[in-house]
Amino acid sequence: MEEFRYREGVLACEGVPLNELAQVHGTPLYVYSERSIRERFKALDAAYADVPHLICYAMKANDNLAIVRMLGQLGAGVDVVSGGELFRARRAGIPASRIIFAGVGKTRGEIAQAIEEDILLFNVESPAELVAIGEVASEKRRVARVSVRVNPNVDPQTHPYISTGLKKNKFGVPTEQVVDVYRQALDHPYLEPVGIQMHIGSQLVRVQPIVDAVSRVIELVQELRVVGIPIRYFDIGGGLGIRYRDEQPEGPADLACRVLPLIGSLGVTLLCEPGRFIVGSSGILLTKVLYRKDNGAKRFVVVDAGMNDLIRPSLYDAHHEIWPVQQKCGEEVVDVVGPICESGDFLAHDRVLPPVAAGDLLAVLSAGAYGFAMASNYNARPKPAEVLVAGNAARLVRRRETYEDLIRAEEGL
Ligand SMILES: *Cc1c(COP(=O)(O)O)cnc(C)c1O
């Protein structure tokens, strides 16, 4: 959050005061710091510098074209989870050779699209999916490269909705089935097994669960080599946590110094799939106070951003720091709520804030990941605009949606 600081009493993103951005672009508004994104990416890149590696940005965290393009220019690949993301990644100039495709429910249409693009590899989540990829590849007479996503059955110690590496989760292939799935791939004329993958969950503030999972997957790699299946890519997934409240998350350097000694001798290219770590604390949601309201039991601050703009508090009961754009003294306890017709529409419960008034601007911090990307048009609300700041310059990277945008897909039917 270093790129969001008070300068002479006004919160700024890099060199640009947020009140100026609100004036020009309106609210609610997502604001991202280019320097922050760049530095987070470089920290990852540096951590793995000693081994061949490719950082495949998990673009589901934030798929804005300008951000994806910028990361591509820094050398990133991307991890896509749908045909739509593949389309966006290619539009953002990411070479197909740096794109990997994840997800438990790839359709045949999406598989065909990815094979036509000749992406680096598919992360396969089930034997049935491997059959489907094999069939589509045969029809197209093109070889599809595959990795198997292993479910290492490790508890990532995070929120249950973002935990993915336990047996009870829908993700990955259980370790005892993995060798069979590779055999199937090896026997298929249009499938080439090239890698192995794992991703145990998101917002991990300690790296030990990832290290434990890597150890289990290494055992599998050795088993696979014995039966003649060469593994060239070892993908450790994403999941590095960020600071939302007072967490002191371990970072890429902590992970690298534990993982590299384990996989260094395998002679593989390391892949990783960070999303939140790169963009999470690089963005904020700027919102304006509409009303204050006191119902006797509680004080409410009603703002112009709702759960359709930022759903993390409602969906995960996630904590986001909220700072007034104009620095203020004093304290009161309030609920910060949006305009949506749902009691679940809140940004913060029982939050200590300086007293704010109608018209004041608030910044909801750490909103760069799973913020805009999860925004919807619920209550027929146009999605907010997005701005990317670099130094003293701010660039609109997505215009605010209009009412006409809301009905476009229904017109002329
Ligand atoms: C969501 C996801 C990621 C990114 O997770 P972060 O916590 O944002 O780093 C990476 N890989 C897979 C397979 C995912 O589903």
How much is the pLDDT for 391?
A: 97
* CA–CA dist 210, 208 (Å, integer): 5
Atom of ligand 1 nearest to the CA of 202: 7
How much is the pLDDT for 2?
A: 81
Cβ atoms of 38 and 73 closer than 8 Å: no
Residue 258 pLDDT greater than 80, yes or no: yes
How much is the pLDDT for 162?
A: 66
How much is the pLDDT for 393?
A: 98
Closest to 88 measured CA to CA, from 58, 111, 125: 58
**The residue to which tokens 């299946």 are assigned:** 229
Homologous superfamily (CATH) for 34-278? Alanine racemase (3.20.20.10)
For the Cβ of 172 lying below 6 angstroms from any atom of ligand 1, the answer is no
Distance of CA 397 to the CA centre of its chain: 18
Atom of ligand 1 nearest to the CA of 60: 1
User: Of 13, 56, 257, 341, which is the active-site residue?
Assistant: 341
Angle at 131 between CA 125 and CA 133, to 5 degrees: 75
How much is the pLDDT for 343?
A: 87
* CA–CA dist 255, 366 (Å, integer): 22
**What separation in Å is there between the alpha carbon of 230 and the centre of ligand 1?**
25
Regarding beta strands 322-324 and 283-294, do their DSSP bridges make them parallel or antiparallel, or are they unpaired? Answer: unpaired
Return the percentage of the chain with pLDDT > 90, whole number: 92
For the Cβ of 229 lying below 6 angstroms from any atom of ligand 1, the answer is no
Helices (H) and strands (E) counted in the chain, each on its own, are 12, 21
**What separation in Å is there between the alpha carbon of 300 and the centre of ligand 1?**
34
For the Cβ of 242 lying below 6 angstroms from any atom of ligand 1, the answer is no
What order of strands is seen across the sheet that includes strand 10-13? 4-7, 10-13, 16-17
* CA–CA dist 31, 16 (Å, integer): 10
For the Cβ of 58 lying below 6 angstroms from any atom of ligand 1, the answer is yes
Atom of ligand 1 nearest to the CA of 61: 8
**What separation in Å is there between the alpha carbon of 202 and the centre of ligand 1?**
6
pLDDT tens figures, 279-321: 999 999 999 999 999 999 899 999 999 999 999 999 999 999 9
**What separation in Å is there between the alpha carbon of 364 and the centre of ligand 1?**
22
Q: Residue 12, SS3? A: strand
Residue 164 pLDDT greater than 80, yes or no: no
Cβ atoms of 283 and 32 closer than 8 Å: yes
Q: What value does the mean pLDDT take over residues 338-350?
A: 94
For the Cβ of 239 lying below 6 angstroms from any atom of ligand 1, the answer is yes
pLDDT tens figures, 188-201: 999 999 999 999 99
Q: Residue 205, SS3? A: coil
pLDDT tens figures, 346-386: 999 999 999 999 999 999 999 999 999 999 999 999 999 99
Give the best-scoring range by mean pLDDT among 86-95, 225-234, 338-347.
Answer: 86-95
How much is the pLDDT for 32?
A: 98
How much is the pLDDT for 324?
A: 98
Residue 154 pLDDT greater than 90, yes or no: no
Domain ranges (residues) in the chain: 4-32+280-407, 34-278
**What separation in Å is there between the alpha carbon of 55 and the centre of ligand 1?**
12
Four-residue CA torsion sign, 236, 238, 243, 244: negative
For the Cβ of 202 lying below 6 angstroms from any atom of ligand 1, the answer is yes
How much is the pLDDT for 208?
A: 94
**What separation in Å is there between the alpha carbon of 383 and the centre of ligand 1?**
24
Q: What value does the mean pLDDT take over residues 377-398?
A: 98
How many CB atoms are located within 10 Å of the residue 52 CB?
12
DSSP state letters, 260-314? HHHHGGGT-EEEE--SHHHHGGGEEEEEEEEEEEE-SS-EEEEES--TTT--HHH
How many CB atoms are located within 10 Å of the residue 381 CB?
20
Query: Residue 270 — pLDDT band, cuts 50, 70, 90?
Result: very high
How much is the pLDDT for 8?
A: 96
Amino acid (one-letter) located at 49: A
Atom of ligand 1 nearest to the CA of 276: 8
Q: What value does the mean pLDDT take over residues 98-111?
A: 97
Cβ atoms of 346 and 337 closer than 8 Å: yes
How much is the pLDDT for 1?
A: 64
For the Cβ of 125 lying below 6 angstroms from any atom of ligand 1, the answer is no
Query: Residue 157 — pLDDT band, cuts 50, 70, 90?
Result: confident
For the Cβ of 273 lying below 6 angstroms from any atom of ligand 1, the answer is yes
Longest dimension (CA), the chain: 71
Question: pTM here?
Answer: 0.97
Cβ atoms of 236 and 260 closer than 8 Å: no
Closest to 381 measured CA to CA, from 333, 325, 329, 342: 342
Please enumerate in sequence order all residues whose Cβ is within 8 A of that of 222, keeping only pairs 6 or more positions apart, or say none: none
**What separation in Å is there between the alpha carbon of 203 and the centre of ligand 1?**
9
- Of 50-64, 114-128, 153-167, 274-288, where does mean pLDDT reach its minimum? 153-167
Which residue of 199, 207, 247, 366 sits with most ligand 1 atoms within 8 Å of its CB, as the best mutation to test the pocket? 199
Closest to 224 measured CA to CA, from 282, 280, 285, 150: 150
What is the chain's alpha carbon radius of gyration, rounded to the nearest angstrom? 22
E-only strand ranges, 140-211: 144-151, 173-174, 191-197
Q: Cis before residue 274, ω within 30 degrees of 0? A: no
- What is the fold of 4-32+280-407? Lyase, Ornithine Decarboxylase; Chain A, domain 1 (2.40.37)
Amino acid (one-letter) located at 167: K
DSSP state letters, 73-137? HTT-EEEE-SHHHHHHHHHTT--GGGEEE--TT--HHHHHHHHHHT-SEEEE-SHHHHHHHHHHH
Which residue of 44, 54, 55, 79 sits with most ligand 1 atoms within 8 Å of its CB, as the best mutation to test the pocket? 79
Q: Residue 365, SS3? A: coil
* CA–CA dist 220, 150 (Å, integer): 9
Q: What value does the mean pLDDT take over residues 132-140?
A: 98
Closest to 335 measured CA to CA, from 375, 379, 299: 299
How much is the pLDDT for 153?
A: 85
Q: Known catalytic residue: 257?
A: no
Q: Which residues pair with 57 in a beta bridge?
A: 78
